[in-house]
Structure 1
Amino acid sequence: MNAPAGGTTNPRDRRLRADARKVLELSENSDLIEARPLDTATGRPPEIWEVTFRCRGIVGTERDGRPVYGDHHRVRIELGREYPRVPPGLRWLTPILHPNIEGHGPQRVCIDQAHWQVGHTLDRVVLMLGEMVQYKNYHAELVPPFPLDQAAATWARQAERAGYFSKSRPVDPRPLLRPDPTAGRPGPSAGRPGPGPVSRIRVRPASTTPTPTPTPTAEPRIRIARERP
Structure 2
Amino acid sequence: MDNVRLRRLKADYEALRRLAHLHPKIEIEGVAGNPPDRYRIKLKVKSLRERGETIETIDEHRLEVTMPRGYPRDAPLFRMLTPVFHPNIAPHAVCIGDDWTAGESLDLLIQRVGEILAYQSYNTKSPLNGRAAQWVDENRDREPNDRDEFFVDLSAVPDSPAPATGVCSNCAATGSLTPCSANHQLCADCVMRCGTCSRVVCLSCGDRSCTACTQAAV
Q: Report the equivalent of 1:158.
A: 138
Alignment coverage as a number of residue pairs: 159
**Cα deviation 1:172-198 (Å, max 9, x = unaligned):** 112335799xx8xxxxxx8239xxxxx
Could you say which structure has the larger radius of gyration? 2
**Cα deviation 1:125-159 (Å, max 9, x = unaligned):** 1001000111111112x3xxx11111110011111
Q: Report the equivalent of 2:4.
A: 11
Q: Which amino acid in 2 is paired with 1:71?
A: D
Distance of 1:15 and 1:178 partners within structure 2: 20
Q: Report the equivalent of 2:128.
A: 148
Q: Which amino acid in 1 is paired with 2:159?
A: R
Distance of 2:36 and 2:42 partners within structure 1: 17
**Cα deviation 1:25-46 (Å, max 9, x = unaligned):** 1111111111244215xxx210
Distance of 1:120 and 1:82 partners within structure 2: 15
4+ residue segments displaced more than 3 Å: 110-113, 177-180
Deviation at 1:111, TM superposition (A): 4.8
Q: Which amino acid in 1 is paired with 2:111?
A: L
Deviation at 1:164, TM superposition (A): 1.8
**Cα deviation 1:52-90 (Å, max 9, x = unaligned):** 111111112674x6x410011011111011001011111
Contact 1:76–1:90 (8 Å) recurs in 2 = yes
Q: Report the equivalent of 2:40.
A: 50
The question of 1:81 aligning with 2:69 is answered yes
Q: Report the equivalent of 1:25.
A: 18
Secondary structure in structure 1 of the residue aligned to 2:42: strand
Q: Report the equivalent of 2:108.
A: 124
Distance of 1:191 and 1:121 partners within structure 2: 18
Q: Which amino acid in 2 is paired with 1:77?
A: V
| Residues 116 and 179 (structure 1), Cα distance of their counterparts in 2 relative to 1, 3 Å cut | closer
CA RMSD of aligned residues (A): 2.7
Q: Which amino acid in 1 is paired with 2:38?
A: I
Q: Report the equivalent of 1:173.
A: 147
Q: In structure 1, which of residues 95, 107, 124 is the aligned counterpart of residue 92 of structure 2?
A: 107
- TM-score normalised by length of structure 1: 0.62
- TM-score normalised by length of structure 2: 0.65
Contact 2:108–2:151 (8 Å) recurs in 1 = no
The structure with the largest strand share of the pair is 2
| Residues 159 and 61 (structure 1), Cα distance of their counterparts in 2 relative to 1, 3 Å cut | farther
Deviation at 1:110, TM superposition (A): 3.9
Distance of 1:29 and 1:68 partners within structure 2: 29
Greater relative contact order, per chain length (Cα 8 Å cut-off, separation 6+): 1
**Cα deviation 1:177-220 (Å, max 9, x = unaligned):** 5799xx8xxxxxx8239xxxxxxxxxxxxxxxxxxxxxxxxxxx
Gaps of 5+ in 1: 1-7, 184-189, 194-229
Q: Calculate percent identity across the aligned residue pairs.
A: 30
Deviation at 1:9, TM superposition (A): 8.3
Q: Which amino acid in 1 is paired with 2:146?
A: D
